Structure 1
Amino acid sequence: MVLSSQKRVTAPSLKTAKVLRGQLGKVPSIDWSKNGEYLLSACTDDFLLVWDPKTYNRVALIPVPNIWVMSCAFSPDTSTAAAGGLNNVCRITRLDSEEISSFDLLGHSGFISSCRYINENRLLTSSGDNTCKLWDLQTQQAVSTFEGHERDVMQIAVHDAQPQTFVSGSLDGSCRVWDVRTAKCAATLVSTKITEYNAVTMSPFIHCFASAGENGIASAFDIRALGQTFEYENPQGTMLSCITYSASGRLLFAGNGSSSCNVWDTVTQTSVANLQGHEKPLSCVAMHPDGTTLASSSLDESIRLWHM
C-alpha cells in the first residue's frame, strides 16, 4: 500500500468537548477505566478524583495522604485504584466499598513514576531508583524486580492483549522490553536522537510502541524487528512529556512543554494538528477505550476532553 495514496487525517476532527476543573492541585496523571465509564485523575494535593465523562461531574474524592501523588491507575474491574508518589510508596485503595480502605506497597527506594495493572491481582510500578517491580496485591509484596536501567525509569506501558511483556522508558536513553514471567530484559531499544525518555505507550498493534523524548522527539519502534520505524519532531522544539495512540493506531498524540499536544499521522508520517487550550505543560494524555475521546491533563490544574 502506497503511503501517498492514504487519505490525510485533518485537524478539524479534533475538538475540545469539555474542560474538567475543580482539581485539587496540579494533575500529573490520568487513567480511563477499562469500560470507559470513569476517568481517574491524580492531584498533587494528595487526592484521587473520579469523573463521569458523560456528565462531566466529579463522582468521588479519594484522599491519599502523605504520598505526593505522581501517577495513578484503575484496576481492570475498577474495584481498586493505585497511586504512586514522591515518597517511594504506591498506595492501593479499594473503590467498591462505602468505607475507604487502603494499603501501601513498600520496596522502591525512589519515587514512583508510573503504575499499571496487568490484572486485578498484579501491578507493575516504575521508579526513580532505576527499577521496575511486579507486585502481588494479595500478599502486598514484590514478586519480581526488573533491573538494568542506569537512570530513573519514567514510565511503563503494557498491552492488555499481551500482559506477559511490558516496555519501560528511562532517562538513561533506552527503552527496554521485559518478560514478566522471567523478570528478564528481552530487548533494549534506543533512538538515534533521543537521550532521555519521558514516556512510552503501546500501539494497538501489540508489537509496536512509541516514546516521548526530553529533546522534543517522538520515536516509534517495532519490537519484532528490534528497531526504530520512524520519528517525529515537535515543531515547538520543547520537550515531550507524555504520549498515546488513537484506538486505530493511525494517530499519535504527544503532550509537550509548550502547553499543547502534537498530533501526527503515523501512515503519512506528517503533523496533522496541534491541540491548544492548556495554559501550562501537559502531564498525561489518555485515549478512551472506544477511541472517541482523548483526555489530556496539565500542570494548569485542569483536564481537557477532546472529541475525535
Structure 2
Amino acid sequence: MLQLLKRVINVDKELKDCAEQINHLKLKLNEKRKSEKTYFESKEIKVPTKEFEVKVKLESHSGKVYGVNWHHDSKHLFSIAQDARLIVWDTCSKTIKKSLNLSNSWMLASAVSPSGTLTAVGGLDNLCTIYDVSDAFGLTPMPKEESESDQGQYILQGHEGYVSSCKFLNEDTIVTTSGDLTVGYWNITKERIISTSEGHTGDVMSVCVDPSSHLVITGSFDSTAKVWDDRTPKKWMLNFAGFHTSDINWLNNITFFKKKKTVCVYVYIYVYIYVLLFCTSVHLFPNKRSFVTGSDDSTCRLFDLRAYRQMAIYSNRTHTSVQMVDTSVSGCYIFVDDDDANSIIALNTLNTKEVYVLTHTQRARRMQVSPSGHALATGCWDFHIRLWA
C-alpha cells in the first residue's frame, strides 16, 4: 500500500513538472513569434544581380491565354486560350507538337497527368474533359469510340457549377473544384465521381495536391483554405480561416441559375470574366509542409501545415488582388501577379521583399514554374506565352 502511495505521489510530481515545462515553452514560443518580424527584417539576404529575361516567346494562339502547364520533362508545354484551342509546344524548337479544338472557349482550368500523356480542361460547361495527347510524344494513343480527332477521351460530368480548377492525383484519378461549392474526386476511366468534399461556403476556386501524402488543399471565395485527405474526403483535416479578408461572396447568388439549369448566357459570361479577374489561388510549397495562398485582399500568405498557422504575409507593390501564386523549386522566390502594372512580381520568401519584376504588355493571367526549376511560363492576354529564365 505504501509503495502504491509513493507511486501516486511521484506521478503527481511528474505531472506538475510537465505542466511547468509546458508553460515555460509556451512563453518562449510567444516571445519567438513576436520577434519573428524583427528577425527577418534584420537579416541581410543576398539577392542575385542577374535578372529574369524572356528567353522564348510562343506565338500561335489568337485569343487570350488562360492556361499553361508544363510536361514533366520541362521541355513541352500545354496551353489553352480563348480561341478554343489546346496546344502542345516543344519549347526548345518553338514548334507545335499537337493542336486540339476544344468544345468551347469558356475554359478556366487545365492540368497535365503525371505521365504527360493526358491533359484535362474545364470551364463554364460544368465538365472536365480529358484528352489523350500520347501521339504528341511519339506514343500510341488509347483507342477511342469516337472517330472525331478532337473528341475528348473522357468526359466527367456531375458538377452543378463551372469547373474552376483541376489536378491529377495519378493517371486514373483527378480532383476538380467547382462553383457548386464542392470538390470532386473522379475515376477517369470509368468517368464517374468517386467522392465529394463539402465544407466551403463559397465557390471553390483552386486546388493543389500532394499524392505522396494524400493531401488536397483548396482555396475558396469564402476566404478560407482547407486541407483534406483524399482517402477520407468527407471532412477537412485543417481549416485556415480568419486570415484573408477578401469579400466576394456575392457570386454565390448566381448559384440559383446553375442549379436550376437555366440557360443564361449573360450570367455565365459575367461569371467567366469575374472569375478570371478575381480568383483565389493555392499552391503547395516545395517542402510539401507548407502552402501559399493568393486572394482579392491584395495579399499572398504562407501557411505551415505542422504548426497550423500563418508564417508570413506578402503583397504586391500596387496592392491589387493576387490571383496567381507559384514558387521557385528552391522555395527562395514566390511569384505573384500585379494586374495594374501588367507584370509578375518575384518576392523573396524570407524577407517578403520584392526582388524582380517581369513586365508584360497586357495582363498575365496564368503562370507555372517548370519542374526542373529553370524557367517560368506565363500566359498573357496579348495572345503570347513567355518563358522567363
| Range into which the TM-score falls when normalised by the shorter chain | over 0.9
Deviations 1:71-128 (A, max 9, x none): 1111111111101111111101111246555221001111111111011011011111
Q: Corresponding residue for 1:24? A: 62
Counterpart amino acid of 1:179? D
Once residues 105 and 238 of structure 2 are traced to their aligned partners in structure 1, the CA distance between those partners, rounded to angstroms, is: 33
C-alpha contact (below 8 Å) 1:94/1:100 kept by paired residues: no
C-alpha contact (below 8 Å) 2:161/2:180 kept by paired residues: yes
Counterpart amino acid of 1:69? M
When Rg is computed on C-alpha atoms for both structures, the one with the higher figure is: 2
**Higher mean C-alpha displacement, 296-305 vs 102-111:** 296-305
* Structure ranking higher in helix proportion: 2
Deviations 1:176-217 (A, max 9, x none): 101100112111103534325611100001010001111221
Q: Corresponding residue for 1:269? A: 352
Q: Corresponding residue for 2:198? A: 147
SS in 1 for 2:350: coil
Once residues 101 and 51 of structure 1 are traced to their aligned partners in structure 2, the CA distance between those partners, rounded to angstroms, is: 20
SS in 1 for 2:62: coil
Once residues 98 and 47 of structure 2 are traced to their aligned partners in structure 1, the CA distance between those partners, rounded to angstroms, is: 37
Q: Corresponding residue for 1:91? A: 129
Q: How many residues align?
A: 305
Once residues 214 and 232 of structure 1 are traced to their aligned partners in structure 2, the CA distance between those partners, rounded to angstroms, is: 13
TM-score between the two structures when normalised by the length of structure 1: 0.93
1:276-287 equivalence runs, <5 A: 276=359, 278-287=360-369
C-alpha contact (below 8 Å) 2:102/2:150 kept by paired residues: no
Q: Corresponding residue for 1:194? A: 245
2:148 is aligned with 1:113: no
Once residues 15 and 148 of structure 1 are traced to their aligned partners in structure 2, the CA distance between those partners, rounded to angstroms, is: 42
Cα offset, 1:159, TM superposition:
2.8
Once residues 159 and 246 of structure 1 are traced to their aligned partners in structure 2, the CA distance between those partners, rounded to angstroms, is: 17
C-alpha contact (below 8 Å) 2:295/2:323 kept by paired residues: yes
Q: Corresponding residue for 2:173? A: 122
- Structure 2: any 5+ residue segments left out of the alignment? 1-38, 135-139, 142-148, 248-278
TM-score between the two structures when normalised by the length of structure 2: 0.74
Which 4+ runs in 1 deviate beyond 4 A?
A: 2-6, 97-101
Once residues 211 and 337 of structure 2 are traced to their aligned partners in structure 1, the CA distance between those partners, rounded to angstroms, is: 23
Q: Corresponding residue for 1:299? A: 381
Counterpart amino acid of 2:204? V
C-alpha contact (below 8 Å) 2:98/2:133 kept by paired residues: no
**Higher mean C-alpha displacement, 265-274 vs 240-249:** 265-274
C-alpha contact (below 8 Å) 1:30/1:39 kept by paired residues: yes
* Structure ranking higher in strand proportion: 1
C-alpha contact (below 8 Å) 1:254/1:285 kept by paired residues: no
